[in-house]
A and B are shown apart, each in its own frame.
Chain A
């Protein structure tokens, strides 16, 4: 009787959740057909990027207290210097919110840039919806909007960012190789509402399912991107599941917390994170964290700048351009990022 009721409730919940999922799948850059990598773009449209005079981009970002976004910002400025070095009259102005929850503040920022008449907007929204009205304003004035990394602006013409789904695939593949394709694994989710968390988790699980892998996901729980929470979660799992062999975390911060739990339990468990933050690299060098999937924000923003300039020059880019990413473990942790992803700078050509 009780079980029946519970089942009924769970079914209802499942219906609700699947409803939400359907809504969220309206636009999913990870699954869009015709997506290109930057190499594809260069192969198709040529290495040269013509830059017209008087271009000013507006970069809208999330909290610079987060290393990821700081690195992204550095990439924008690195690209700016390279374009200017080519003699072009180009600049980018960047604004960022003080924390990762100030949705309205970010919208105001975007509107301000529209009002100042920037040539294009490169936005990394806090949520899937907070910039919607500002983006519509921009488009009304003929200013194109490039969505750089998540959240997702369905109305934006272009999306430039990593393939979060592929983050999960890479992590699963690596774990499978290291574990001889068998054993129990668990997933520490960021916030379930976050696109990146959903996609990374889905990629990880899909890889296991599609490859008939011997890996078995025995638990997946949410840790709010918080290091201490992730550590607590892992500690509970480890002492409940002595056969646990690997833990995939939706980001590095949580992975670093999980590593502490693994060390304390003196357990033999592989931990994989995502993001490739500096601390994760240090931890891999120290032999604690096992791997991370780096999406190279420094190059992501350079790709974004390049793509936006190409669009300005009239090239018809696809809706989605995937930015480089790679799995980093002890073998390639000291290799230069440019070498890992085979990065070369494009040739910017200034207008006469």
Chain B
């Protein structure tokens, strides 16, 4: 247990901060803590959580994927088209996953094959993929998605919990296992920690980066398919700007932007914190203008936790010595 605490100190600090935030919202409006509202929080963290777990893979390798919001839109559109044209819902989901993986693999190709800076490469695909989404749909939303598809994600299990919440939790567990328990995970951290050293240790850097971007694309696809189930329609503009929230969730959860560090647990808590914040501010009816300010400040403060921790440690040590 103490080992768990020492290994996940940062995650715990962010989690405690999230609890404190929830407590503050509850004091301001006791309705915040109702079961239904807690369900709302979990439901509303799903899309950002799924996008964040994907982008975390890219960030751990020292990269970034700005195109996830667009992959999300394309997948939503294509799967919507499939289901509307009576393709079996599960086959549609498989198609969606393949689309996400292919779009992710293309990012991987740009980053490894053409050796482009990930930021620039995915800035390019962000526009490229968005353009494809517009061209495919002609700007017209795809609507009337059948319930046979929507219920797969949107159906309720028990206590009002929807399947897509379960999908997210499973994804986080799988991400945890990959990162913490498998060779691929070790290679991902190694590539992000020091790409040259990893290469000179015999790590297949190119393959590892491909895996990261493919996982990232697949997660964006899953998020897009959940969105489709939740809204029953898909449009080319969906997901605009979602990459920033996903990056924020990963960063709050302790993912190092330069690569080499990040955990599924941390990113989960980061996404949870943002959802608590968003729902909480709606519950206590914070003015829209102020929500931007508060959200921005929280992201900055949360990302600063790590430095503060170091400072506090050094301060305590100094006190002890004197």
Contact = CB atoms under 8 A, between A and B. Distances in A.
Given A236-B37, A282-B143, A257 B231 contact: yes
A227 B236 CA distance: 12
A345 interface: no
Nearest to B154: A264
A67 B291 contact: no
B282 A221 contact: yes
A235 B46 CA distance: 14
B101 interface: no
B93 interface: no
B139 A240 contact: no
A233 B238 contact: no
B289 A192 contact: yes
A282 B232 CA distance: 13
A106 to B, nearest CB: 17
Nearest to B286: A221
A102 to B, nearest CB: 11
A214 to B, nearest CB: 21
Given A67-B139, A222-B288, A239-B40, A232 B240 contact: no
Interface string A210-249: 0000000001111010111001110111011000000000
B6 interface: no
Given A67-B139, A228-B238, A239-B36, A13 B290 contact: yes
B231 A256 contact: yes
Contacts of A235: 40, 43-44
Interface residues of B, number: 38
B146 interface: no
A68 B267 CA distance: 39
B285 A231 contact: no
A157 B203 CA distance: 67
A253 B238 CA distance: 11
B227 A228 contact: yes
Contact of A279 (B130, B141, B240, B283): B141
A92 to B, nearest CB: 21
A109 to B, nearest CB: 18
A78 interface: no
A65 B233 contact: no
A282 B84 CA distance: 15
Nearest to A100: B237
A319 interface: no
Given A65-B236, A221-B288, A222-B291, A227 B283 contact: no
Interface residues of A, number: 36
Interface in B273-322: 278-279, 282-283, 285, 288-291
B109 interface: no
Interface string B20-36: 00000000010100101
A264 B284 CA distance: 23
Interface in B130-182: 130-131, 134, 139-141, 143-144, 154
A218 to B, nearest CB: 8
Contact of A66 (B139, B154, B233): B139
Contacts of B141: 279
Contacts of A221: 282, 285, 288, 291
A227 B238 contact: yes
A189 interface: yes
Contacts of B282: 219, 221, 233, 236-237, 240
A231 B47 CA distance: 13
Contacts of A226: 238, 240
A317 interface: no
B88 interface: no
B238 to A, nearest CB: 7
B139 A65 contact: yes
A267 B43 CA distance: 18
A228 B235 contact: no
B230 interface: yes
B237 A65 contact: yes
A240 B281 CA distance: 12
A260 interface: yes
Interface string A47-88: 000000000000000011111001000000000000000000
A267 to B, nearest CB: 12
A85 to B, nearest CB: 28
Contacts of B154: 264
B9 to A, nearest CB: 31
B153 to A, nearest CB: 12
A17 interface: yes
A64 B236 CA distance: 12
A237 B284 CA distance: 10
B116 to A, nearest CB: 22
A205 B316 CA distance: 56
A236 B289 contact: no
Given A222-B291, A228-B47, A279-B141, A236 B40 contact: yes
A98 B135 CA distance: 11
Contacts of B233: 227, 256, 279
20 contacts: A70-B139, A221-B285, A221-B291, A224-B241, A226-B238, A226-B240, A231-B231, A232-B278, A235-B40, A235-B43, A235-B44, A236-B44, A240-B283, A256-B231, A260-B230, A264-B154, A279-B141, A279-B143, A282-B143, A282-B144
Given A192-B289, A260-B230, 18 more contacts: A70-B139, A98-B131, A98-B134, A189-B288, A220-B288, A221-B285, A222-B288, A222-B291, A226-B240, A227-B233, A228-B227, A231-B230, A233-B282, A236-B40, A236-B283, A237-B282, A260-B232, A279-B143
Interface of B: 29, 31, 34, 36-37, 40, 43-44, 47, 130-131, 134, 139-141, 143-144, 154, 227, 230-233, 235-238, 240-241, 278-279, 282-283, 285, 288-291
Interface of A: 13, 17, 63-67, 70, 98-99, 189, 192, 219-222, 224, 226-228, 231-233, 235-237, 239-240, 253, 256-257, 260, 264, 278-279, 282
